[in-house]
Structure 1
């Protein structure tokens, strides 16, 4: 049996990134990637494929992204890992030996154990099959209920509403977007969604799906009310795929496969990264969740370099994120104010509203920014932005980088930036400086 230098289990962003980097930086390593999906899909783009305006192929990730760099691709399901023999076995009888093994097995949608949930008219938002089901259901249905008010749930709801469907979002928490968004921004998003005709039910829990003979669904709520629907979309989170690791005796936790600072598991020469792996907050150093494709890529780079002997430490995650809700774009990085307080940190917060351009220019909009600082050392530990248009991503990138670099209040007050009447706020009105000054005023 030929032994591979590296075997990667999983064909998502983490697995593909590792394979690519090993061929870029390594010297002729033999790399095999084993995945159980024949064709992967760009999961973040699934909500935007529902209207059926583009062929499904546009949302597929070609296998050539793996094979073009010299990686051997095996489409099969790994059934067993033997860490003592350093071998993996597959459903079709394959046995593969390795020097290094990477677990990038991803996650799967959380399907809540609600009576009646098993139905072709109830679907999660994850795979190519899910996208096909959503297209079919949206083409024939008129009423949709989306269970879950996080990013994906809201994105699906917006798309369905734009297609002309009556849409209700059911969220068990007191507000939508609570996992990522500051309360100052949530109300603006609420208002925008309701203005467009979406119905938002927060603090409500689905307790049963009742199916009628006419292929209708009655979504029964804990309050006793019921919502009529032609189909239901489930978007209530994901679960790390770690059963394979656990059966091999590899240490796991409720947050994923346990890894150290170099993303090594407790099994020799076995790494884990991406959705399946437990993460560590860059701010607090504590274990955390963070099922974002960007986190998978960041972790994969560290794994690849460590396999090559470069001894890199994973810095932890900031869970930088952005989304679009009609005319708004918004996002955050690091800790929200409530997350920081829950972590036992004393904080200073600052808020700013500045114009996106010089005031005399056309199409001027307001940029809203909130920054969160550690009161003890005055370092930036979190930030959020909401603005019109699609520009918030680069704002969140700046905040994320500033947190990574340990930026303090003084750093943000003194940082140098460009300005232009058409492209930026006037020189005196920088969004980050204004928010930092506001935080100082709250000290």
Structure 2
């Protein structure tokens, strides 16, 4: 069995290892455009902020490791076309410009995603940068050395984390987002209100509900101002963090896709052509809270789907369990975890949903210290099925987002969670764990 893997970041690296573990006799050929594999882009803000001193620590594999496992790894090779009828891929060696054609029995599309670049006038100015891969991380760090005023466009996780890194580096930071709230996909208003106040107290200028209209540059084509419809902001550097789009142009219309280009896969990671698999940012996920196909480009989804490619490369064996889009964030001492639907998203999708909000201490007041936990549970009013949840505290409660993720995945009700068996020990929690109390508030 000859397997060609195109793209080797999270899903690709996971798939190669899984294929060779499950089918050691397989001939696995990897094509990767870059000169590195497995870069953890979620660590870029930590690298920018100096928390991670060595960028090499953000790689968890390398071409040599994959080769030692038995793969033929072609770095700095760009696949230019795929013929699904002949089962062939054409690739160009970017160092020598030589072209090669390789046949396959199974094809694995782990081509990932690329930052969205909106068609804004002046966007090609110098020092308007993207934030995705290793080379971009290095460019951000290099450009930030001489930049005093930095504008971040996009209030999602990557944008927010970069804002914190730049603030702690002593920069003047402006955050622009077209939505009225930061982190809109992950958190409801009580949580984002608190975080926005935190950003303001740290000296961040917030321009929410504002879209960038144009960028203004000086005579050397260096960006100097960012203009929205109503305001202008000085800028020595701009980082665009407005989202990602799947990189799936290679397959054209040869497999079924979502309108945004994400490749549709079944529970075994097979596309509409069973010998072609897809995983990671190039593919859809099954979103359990709504039982629907969705596009959620997260490293956690990528590594799970990559593993499943290897498990199912010979025949359908292990089914995907879906995702809740579970995520965590650290921001100026706040620890935040979320999973599944927010109440705002649930109602927007026409779900008859309700929510319970609760603040309580994570452990008894008789202990020397304790901390408040902000919590919210989102559930279906008709079935009482849990759809999502959010938690935030100065104490690290983020693992409870994983507990709520399991509750959503296993279709638990608020009653199930209200009476779930959690241990009690005063160092850690109360006789009723705060998740029990949250679910009991939902019951009420």
TM bucket, shorter chain = over 0.9
Written as runs of structure 1 = structure 2, the 5 A alignment for 1:60-71 is: 60-61=59-60, 62-71=62-71
Aligned residues: 433
The alignment partner of 1:146 has SS state of: strand
Question: Counterparts of 2:100 and 2:324 in 1: how far apart (Å)?
Answer: 39
Question: Counterparts of 1:165 and 1:337 in 2: how far apart (Å)?
Answer: 35
Tell me if structure 2 keeps the 8 A contact 1:257–1:265.
Answer: yes
Q: Which moved more, 1:342-351 or 1:6-15?
A: 342-351
Question: Counterparts of 1:331 and 1:203 in 2: how far apart (Å)?
Answer: 24
1:45 lines up with 2:54 in the alignment: no
Question: Counterparts of 1:55 and 1:274 in 2: how far apart (Å)?
Answer: 26
Partner of 1:74: 74
Report the CA distance shift for 1:27/1:121 in structure 2 as closer, same or farther (over 3 A): closer
Tell me if structure 1 keeps the 8 A contact 2:6–2:108.
Answer: yes
Partner of 2:183: 177
Question: Counterparts of 2:418 and 2:56 in 1: how far apart (Å)?
Answer: 48
Written as runs of structure 1 = structure 2, the 5 A alignment for 1:150-229 is: 150-213=156-219, 215=222, 217-223=224-230, 225-229=231-235
User: Which residue, out of 23, 26, 31, partners 2:23?
Assistant: 26
The alignment partner of 1:257 has SS state of: coil
Question: Counterparts of 1:219 and 1:172 in 2: how far apart (Å)?
Answer: 14
Partner of 1:373: 379
User: Which residue, out of 15, 31, 36, partners 2:33?
Assistant: 36
The alignment partner of 2:398 has SS state of: helix
Question: How far 1:277 sits from its partner (Å)?
Answer: 1.0
Partner of 1:55: 54
Question: How far 1:22 sits from its partner (Å)?
Answer: 1.8
Tell me if structure 1 keeps the 8 A contact 2:40–2:59.
Answer: yes
Question: Counterparts of 1:128 and 1:415 in 2: how far apart (Å)?
Answer: 43
Relative to the length of structure 2, the TM-score reads 0.93
Tell me if structure 2 keeps the 8 A contact 1:409–1:436.
Answer: yes
Question: How far 1:27 sits from its partner (Å)?
Answer: 4.2
The alignment partner of 2:105 has SS state of: strand
Question: How far 1:303 sits from its partner (Å)?
Answer: 2.2
The alignment partner of 1:18 has SS state of: helix
Question: Counterparts of 1:58 and 1:284 in 2: how far apart (Å)?
Answer: 37
Question: How far 1:216 sits from its partner (Å)?
Answer: 5.1
Question: How far 1:89 sits from its partner (Å)?
Answer: 1.1
1:250 lines up with 2:255 in the alignment: yes
1:425 lines up with 2:439 in the alignment: no
Question: Counterparts of 2:370 and 2:281 in 1: how far apart (Å)?
Answer: 39
Question: Counterparts of 1:329 and 1:347 in 2: how far apart (Å)?
Answer: 26
The alignment partner of 1:140 has SS state of: coil
Partner of 1:416: 421
Question: Counterparts of 1:9 and 1:305 in 2: how far apart (Å)?
Answer: 18
Partner of 1:393: 398
Question: How far 1:343 sits from its partner (Å)?
Answer: 2.4
Question: How far 1:283 sits from its partner (Å)?
Answer: 2.1
User: Which residue, out of 385, 397, 402, partners 2:407?
Assistant: 402
Question: How far 1:21 sits from its partner (Å)?
Answer: 1.5
Question: Counterparts of 2:147 and 2:129 in 1: how far apart (Å)?
Answer: 14
Report the CA distance shift for 1:314/1:60 in structure 2 as closer, same or farther (over 3 A): closer
Written as runs of structure 1 = structure 2, the 5 A alignment for 1:278-317 is: 278-317=284-323
Question: Counterparts of 1:69 and 1:371 in 2: how far apart (Å)?
Answer: 44
The alignment partner of 1:194 has SS state of: helix
Question: Counterparts of 1:260 and 1:164 in 2: how far apart (Å)?
Answer: 48
Q: Which moved more, 1:19-28 or 1:199-208?
A: 19-28
Question: Counterparts of 1:230 and 1:303 in 2: how far apart (Å)?
Answer: 44
Q: Which moved more, 1:296-305 or 1:129-138?
A: 296-305
Question: Counterparts of 1:177 and 1:362 in 2: how far apart (Å)?
Answer: 33
1:84 lines up with 2:91 in the alignment: no
Question: Counterparts of 2:69 and 2:378 in 1: how far apart (Å)?
Answer: 42
Task: Kindly provide the CA deviation profile for residues 105-130 of structure 1, in whole angstroms up to 9, marking residues without a partner as x.
Answer: 00001111111111331101111121
The alignment partner of 1:64 has SS state of: helix
The alignment partner of 1:303 has SS state of: helix
The alignment partner of 2:252 has SS state of: helix
Partner of 2:146: 140
Question: How far 1:299 sits from its partner (Å)?
Answer: 1.8
Q: Which moved more, 1:374-383 or 1:309-318?
A: 309-318
Question: How far 1:132 sits from its partner (Å)?
Answer: 1.3
Question: Counterparts of 1:305 and 1:416 in 2: how far apart (Å)?
Answer: 33
Question: How far 1:336 sits from its partner (Å)?
Answer: 1.0
Tell me if structure 2 keeps the 8 A contact 1:283–1:318.
Answer: yes
Question: How far 1:239 sits from its partner (Å)?
Answer: 0.9
Relative to the length of structure 1, the TM-score reads 0.93
User: Which residue, out of 14, 18, 25, partners 1:17?
Assistant: 14
Question: Counterparts of 1:204 and 1:293 in 2: how far apart (Å)?
Answer: 29
